Structure 1
Amino acid sequence: MDVSCAFPTALSSPDDIALAESLGYARAWVYDTPQQSPDVWMTLALAAERTERIGIGPGVLIPSLRHPMVNAAATATLVDLAPGRVAVAFGTGFTGRRAMGYGAITWKFMDAYIRAYRDLLRGEVVEWEGTRMQMLHPDGHAPARPVEVPILVGALGPKGHAVARELGDGLYATLQVPDFLGEYSWVPYLLWGTVLDESEGADSAHAREAAGPGWALAYHGAYEFGGPDAVRGLPGGDAWMDVVESAPEGERHLAVHSGHCVELNKADEAAWAAGGHAMLRDATITGTGDEVKRRLDQLGEQGVTEVVFQPCGSDTRRELERFLEAATSS
C-alpha cells in the first residue's frame, strides 16, 4: 500500500505537506471545511510551490460549496502548478456541510455535478442550472483542454457506489470499510490514531492529543447518523449528549462539530473524562508500532491500496515519522 497523509486545512498545511514530502509520503490530501479552515485551493497552490514530488489534492470537495466552473478552474490552475501530481476527491459533506446546519447532498446532485465538472475540464459545452457553458480560458489563463485529473468519490452505500463506479477513478473511504471496496483498483482510506510507546496507555496525555480528535468522530458520526440514542450507547455518551443538549436546539450542530479533526471540543472532553477513552483503540488506529502495522495490513487485505493518515496534536513531525515507520516496517 501507498502511505499518504491528510490535514484539516490550516495555515500551516503548505509547510506540513512539504514536511510530508521530505519524509517520503506518497500523497497529501486536505479537507474542504470552510467553516473552520482557510481556502482549500489557496492552500494547495502554496503546497504545490513548496514541493516537487508528492501528490496533492482536496479530499474531499463538497460540490454544493462551489459552482462546478469554479472547481474546474481551480483544478486546472493546480494541475498547471503541479503537473502529474493532482487528484480530486468528492464527498456528500459530513462536517463540510453539517457543521453549518445542512444535511448531506443527494447522490443525484453529486452525479450531475461530477459529470458537469469532468466535462468542463475536457473542454466540452455543458448544461448547468438551465444554461450552457464552457471553459473559455485563453492561452496563459489555464492549461489547454482537456485537463486530465483523476477523480475519486467518497462513498459508503449502494447509491454512492454506483456513482463511484460509473464516474470515478477510485473510491475514497473513511470510518467504515464497505463490502464493495474490493471492486476498485485505487482505494485511499482516511484514518486517525497514533503510535504509542510500548508502556504507554491509551489514556495518556499524548494519546488524548494525538488520537483524541479521530476518536471523537465516533460520537460525531453516531449523533449525525443514529441520533442521541446512538451516542448514549457509547462509553461516555451520556456526558457527551449532556453538553450538546445544553446548547440551543438550532445551534447544536456547532457544539457537535467544533474542533473537528483538530482538537477535542467540550462535549468530547466530557465523554473522554467519563470513560470514553476506553474505546480509543477501537475507534482509531492506535497502538504500538507492531499493533498499528497489523491493523494496516488488515486494511490492505480488505482492498485498501493507500492508507491516509491524519496527524493530530502539537508535534506533526513526530506523528508523521512514527506512523510512517510503523506502516513501512517489515
Structure 2
Amino acid sequence: MRAGVVVAAQPGVEELAVQAEELGFHSFWLNDTPMVHGDPFVALSLCAKATSRIKLGIGVTSPALRSAPAAASGLASLNALAPGRIICGVGTGNTARRTLGMRPTTAATLEDFTAALQDLCAGRATEYREGDRVRDIRFLHTGAHVNTADPIEFVVAALLGPKAAAVAGHRGTGLISFGLLDPTAWHTLHDARRRAAQGASREPGSRSDSYLIASVHILKENEDPHGDAARDATGHVVMSLLAFAADTAADRHAFVGQLGPEEREAVQRYLDRRGTTATAPDRHTKLYPNYLGRIAPEDRDLVLPSLMNTLALVGTRDELLTRTTALEQAGVDELVIQPVIDPPTEMAQLVELLA
C-alpha cells in the first residue's frame, strides 16, 4: 500500500512536502476548508516549486465553495507548475460548508461540477449556468498560463456512501474517504462505483485509485492503546466526528442517533464545553475552531476508546500490518495520514510500517 499525508495549508508547509517526497510518499494533500485552514491552492503552488516527484492534492474542494471556472483555473495553474502531479478531490462540502453554518450540496450538483472540471482541465468547452443563463465556456488563455495537456487525477469524496461512489463511477474517477476503516464498507463502495461505471466513457489517462484518510498510532511495547499518547495522536479525528454529530444533532434522522449512549453523552459534553447548543444558529463558530488540529489535554476524555477503535488505526506493528493488508485487499490503494503531534516523525513511521 502506498503512503500519503494531508495537512492544513500554512506558511512553511512546502518544507513538509519536501520531507514527504524525500521519504518516498506518493502524495501530499492540503485541506480546502476556507474559514478554518489556509488556502490550499496558494500553499500547493509553493509545494509545486519545492518538489519534483510527489503528487499534490486538494482534499477536497466543492461546488458549494468554488465555481467550476475558478476551481479549474486553480487546478490548471497548479498543473503548469507541477505537470501531471495534481490530484483534485471533490465532494459535497460536508465540513467546509458546515463551518460556514451552511448545508452541503447534492450528489447531482457534485457530478455536474466534476464533469465541468474534467472538461475545462482537459482543454474542452463545458456548459456553465448561472440562474437561467447558460453559456459554453473554455480556457481563453494563450501561452503557458495553464496546463491542460497533462492529466489531472480526480477523486470523489465518499461521504455519501453509494451516491458518491456512483458519481465516481459515472465520471471515471477514484474515491477518497475519511476514517473508513471497515474493509466491507470499501467493498460496497467499489461495487457501487463499478456498477455506475458500466457504459460510462473514461477520461484519457484517468485513474480510479482509492485513498483512505486516517490517523495512525504505532504502539510501543506495553503501551496502553487508549492512553494519553494514543488519544493525542488520534483525537483530532475523533473530535471531528463529535463536531459533526453535535452540529447535526437537531436534524431529522440525525447521525447522533446512530451512536451509543456513551458516545451521545460525549457529544453533549462537546457542545457544553464549546458553549453552544445543537440548535444555536451560530454553533458553527463554536464547534469548528482548531478543527483537525491537535486536541487540548482537557479534551482527552472525549476521545472514547469505542470511537478510536472505529476511526483510527492504533496497534502494534503486526496488528496494523494485518489491518492495512485487509484494507489493501478491499481495494484501498493509499493510506493518507493526518499527523498532528510530530509530522516528520509520524511520516517516517508510516513509511517504515508500509515498507
Question: Is TM > 0.5 for Structure 1 vs Structure 2?
Answer: yes
Matched to 2:319, the amino acid is E
Question: Once the 2 structures are TM-superposed, how far is the Cα of residue 298 of structure 1 from its aligned partner?
Answer: 1.6
Counterpart CA distance in 2 for 1:8 and 1:274 is 23
The runs of 5 or more residues in structure 1 that have no matched partner are none
User: Could you say if the C-alpha distance between residues 259 and 202 of structure 1 is closer, same or farther in structure 2, counting changes exceeding 3 Å?
Assistant: farther
Aligned to 2:251: none
Counterpart CA distance in 2 for 1:69 and 1:239 is 42
Kindly indicate whether the alpha-carbon contact (under 8 Å) linking 1:192 and 1:285 is maintained by their aligned counterparts in 2: yes
Aligned to 1:180: 189
Please show how residues 69-80 of structure 1 align to structure 2 within 5 Å. Answer: 69-80=69-80
Kindly indicate whether the alpha-carbon contact (under 8 Å) linking 2:321 and 2:354 is maintained by their aligned counterparts in 1: yes
Aligned to 2:280: 249
SS at match of 1:297: helix
Matched to 2:83, the amino acid is P
**Residues 1:191 and 2:214 are matched in the alignment:** yes
Kindly indicate whether the alpha-carbon contact (under 8 Å) linking 2:80 and 2:146 is maintained by their aligned counterparts in 1: yes
Counterpart CA distance in 2 for 1:159 and 1:219 is 23
Q: Deviations over 1:124-171 (max 9, x none)?
A: 33221223322100113223x445212111124232222110113211
Counterpart CA distance in 2 for 1:221 and 1:188 is 21
Kindly indicate whether the alpha-carbon contact (under 8 Å) linking 1:290 and 1:326 is maintained by their aligned counterparts in 2: no
The runs of 5 or more residues in structure 2 that have no matched partner are 195-207, 249-253
Please show how residues 57-96 of structure 1 align to structure 2 within 5 Å. Answer: 57-96=57-96
**Residues 1:21 and 2:21 are matched in the alignment:** yes
User: Could you say if the C-alpha distance between residues 282 and 101 of structure 1 is closer, same or farther in structure 2, counting changes exceeding 3 Å?
Assistant: same
Aligned to 2:135: 131
Kindly indicate whether the alpha-carbon contact (under 8 Å) linking 2:8 and 2:30 is maintained by their aligned counterparts in 1: yes
Question: Once the 2 structures are TM-superposed, how far is the Cα of residue 245 of structure 1 from its aligned partner?
Answer: 6.0
Question: Once the 2 structures are TM-superposed, how far is the Cα of residue 35 of structure 1 from its aligned partner?
Answer: 0.8
**Residues 1:323 and 2:350 are matched in the alignment:** yes
Aligned to 2:163: 159
Kindly indicate whether the alpha-carbon contact (under 8 Å) linking 1:175 and 1:191 is maintained by their aligned counterparts in 2: yes
Kindly indicate whether the alpha-carbon contact (under 8 Å) linking 1:281 and 1:287 is maintained by their aligned counterparts in 2: no
RMSD: 2.4
> 197, 207, 212: which is aligned to 2:235?
212
Aligned to 1:263: 294
Structure 1 vs Structure 2: percent identity of aligned residues?
Answer: 27
Question: Once the 2 structures are TM-superposed, how far is the Cα of residue 108 of structure 1 from its aligned partner?
Answer: 1.5
Question: Once the 2 structures are TM-superposed, how far is the Cα of residue 37 of structure 1 from its aligned partner?
Answer: 1.4
Counterpart CA distance in 2 for 1:215 and 1:170 is 25
Kindly indicate whether the alpha-carbon contact (under 8 Å) linking 2:36 and 2:99 is maintained by their aligned counterparts in 1: no
Question: Once the 2 structures are TM-superposed, how far is the Cα of residue 25 of structure 1 from its aligned partner?
Answer: 0.8
Aligned to 1:150: 153
Counterpart CA distance in 2 for 1:279 and 1:134 is 46
Deviates more, 1:238-247 or 1:68-77: 238-247
User: Could you say if the C-alpha distance between residues 98 and 232 of structure 1 is closer, same or farther in structure 2, counting changes exceeding 3 Å?
Assistant: farther
Question: Once the 2 structures are TM-superposed, how far is the Cα of residue 198 of structure 1 from its aligned partner?
Answer: 1.7
User: Could you say if the C-alpha distance between residues 306 and 154 of structure 1 is closer, same or farther in structure 2, counting changes exceeding 3 Å?
Assistant: same
The TM-score with structure 2 as length reference comes to: 0.83
Counterpart CA distance in 2 for 1:228 and 1:264 is 21
Matched to 1:158, the amino acid is P
